[in-house]
Homo-oligomer: A and B are copies of this chain.
Amino acid sequence: MAQKRLGKQTVALENPPSIIATATIVGPKEGDGPLKDYFDLVLDDDLWGEDSWEKAEAKLQQEAVKLALNNANMVPSQAEYLFAGDLLNQIISSSYAARQLKIPFFGLYGACSTKTESLSLGAMSIDGGFADTVVCVTSSHFSTAERQYRFPLEHGNQRPPTAQWTVTGAGASVLSSSGNGPYITHLTTGKIIDPGIVNANNMGPAMAPAAADTIIQHFRDTGFKPENYDMIITGDLATLGKDIAEELVAKEGYDISKIFMDCGIEIFDGERQDTHAGGSGCGCSAVVFAGYLYKALKAGKLKRIMLISTGALLSPTIIQQGESIPGIAHAVTISNEK
């Protein structure tokens, strides 16, 4: 068996990469939410001086990468790989950001799971001896996502209560072969689970079984228990999906209720900010991790967490053709100790 392999879906890194810096840039709504103090930059408007939301989203990624490298006292030419993705068709936010940055580029797509997909592949590239410094970045943007996945905002469509609010923001993390943590120590890579949901406005429940499957598999592969973690936090299951995932994990004998959180729930004050079921998008777990969680780890308030970004791998075309929504979730253990 491959020497770093633990069980069916998990690897334990031999020389865990250190996350030496992060950066977050968010939109005005996120900057008005409960985590506002943890973001590096809050925009006044979500166009950020560009003439389209898509160009603004590319700028979000590009500037988040530059800022994260700057926070590590580095420049883009010092990074060996950029692992990046977003929700837009042909991941243009990432490609157009990478065009400016000139870092060798691996484009990724895992819907909202792309954040931990990028951290997983970035960590492998360093632990495997292929790179010393890589940047992992993902973004989403409320207005580009609504235009592409649902309705143009100009239509003024009503949002059902199960709908989630796509986070406007980009979060970048700089991974290094040296540094004093926090470290990425374990990766549990998800397989697709499709519970048969066909409503593109009800994504939490579509992703919850995949999140539960990855969390359960992580415990089985590693022998860890919920008490080995200070926090287990999913990407964007939001209120409806989080309860389902917690119940599915409990059925297999793991009680995570005391330490289980969801980035989509934490980022907004749902009642006051009218965000229905919660936040979503691959900017959601990106900015909650690179902002709040990273700073809590650095400050020692958290010592060891599992981040599980969750993705709904639908496309509008295939949903129109009657298909259901496949879910996926990738878990990454981030710890202050190697």
- Residues on B with beta carbons closer than 8 Å to the beta carbon of A54: 317-318, 321
Most buried by B among A88, A104, A124, A190: A104
- Residues on B with beta carbons closer than 8 Å to the beta carbon of A131: 2, 5, 11
Q: Does A60 contact B (CB under 8 A)?
A: no
Which of B1, B125, B190 meets A104, CB within 8 Å?
B190
Contact B111 A109 (CB under 8 A): no
Q: Does A202 contact B (CB under 8 A)?
A: no
From A91-99, A153-161, A233-241, the one touching the partner chain is: A91-99
Query: When each residue 106-141 of chain A gets 1 if its CB lies under 8 Å from chain B and 0 otherwise, what string results?
Result: 111111000001001100111111111000000000
Contact B124 A314 (CB under 8 A): no
Contact A80 B2 (CB under 8 A): yes
Which of B2, B51, B110, B129 meets A132, CB within 8 Å?
B2
Q: Report how far A328 CA is from B95 CA in the complex, Å.
A: 9
Chain B residue nearest in CB terms to A104: B189
Copies in the complex: 2
Interface size class of A (residues with CB under 8 A): 35 or more
Contact B2 A105 (CB under 8 A): no
Contacts of A312-338 to chain B: CB distance below 8 A: 313-318, 321, 323, 326, 328
Which of B127, B148, B192, B317 meets A128, CB within 8 Å?
B127
- Residues on B with beta carbons closer than 8 Å to the beta carbon of A323: 55, 96
Contact B192 A315 (CB under 8 A): no
* A156: min CB distance to chain B, Å: 21
Which of B103, B124, B328 meets A191, CB within 8 Å?
B103
- Besides A52-B321, A105-B328, A148-B317, 5 new A-B residue pairs in contact (Cβ under 8 A), listed by A number: A5-B80, A55-B323, A89-B90, A96-B318, A124-B124
A-B contact pairs, 27 of them (CB 8 A): A2-B80, A2-B132, A4-B128, A4-B130, A52-B321, A54-B317, A54-B318, A85-B109, A88-B315, A89-B315, A89-B316, A90-B313, A92-B314, A92-B317, A96-B318, A99-B192, A99-B326, A102-B192, A104-B189, A104-B190, A105-B110, A106-B120, A108-B108, A108-B109, A109-B109, A124-B125, A128-B129
- State the A residues within 8 Å of B (CB): 1-5, 9, 11, 14, 51-52, 54-55, 80-81, 85, 88-92, 95-96, 98-99, 102-111, 117, 120-121, 124-132, 148, 177, 189-192, 194, 313-318, 321, 323, 326, 328
